[in-house]
Structure 1
Amino acid sequence: MNTILVATSTSENKMNTVADKIRNYCRTDNIEAEVLASNVYKVNLKETAPEVIVILGQNVLETDIPIVDGVPFMTTIGEKEAFQQIKSHLDGQG
């Protein structure tokens, strides 16, 4: 199963809202994925092992894991395109 990490250094409420939206998109598109939400400063990427990271706010992560801007999920402007980016990274995994 794929893992999508939603991470932020600011609002946990926004992070959880974005995680819920991504879960709904995955469910609608029949994509099996675990969507996790975590503080960007506390997350252990080796433990979590996400295929893609959705960042809200400043990116402080140093990683080769693909990163998608999560702001469109808050503004709804470009939300579908942002989810397509997530899907393309998941599709590239298998």
Structure 2
Amino acid sequence: MTPPNAGKGRPKGVPNKTTALLKDAILKAAQTAGGGGDEGIANYLAERAIDTPGPFLALLGKVLPMQIAGDEDNPVQHIVKIERVIVRPPDRDA
């Protein structure tokens, strides 16, 4: 006789343990690479934004909200212009 929950798999919304472990390891590595501390991950991502802006902007596009909303007293009317400007990173040898 099989148990009553056999074959149902993981309940909906419960993350896979391997995925959660990998995510934690990636975040810890980014924090360490950025110098540790509370700002470690932000420091690491800031460096990647300068070194490799293409992948960084792709990541940014995934985390930005899909809708832009202003506050009730000053609503957003429309977006006039979005511009991407690529600048050369400062020479780090100086």
Do these two structures clear the TM 0.5 threshold for a shared fold by scoring above it?
no
Q: Which structure dedicates a bigger proportion of its chain to strand? A: 1
TM range (shorter): under 0.3
Quick check: which has more Rg, 1 or 2? 2
Q: 1 or 2 for the larger relative contact order (CA 8 Å, sep ≥6)?
A: 1
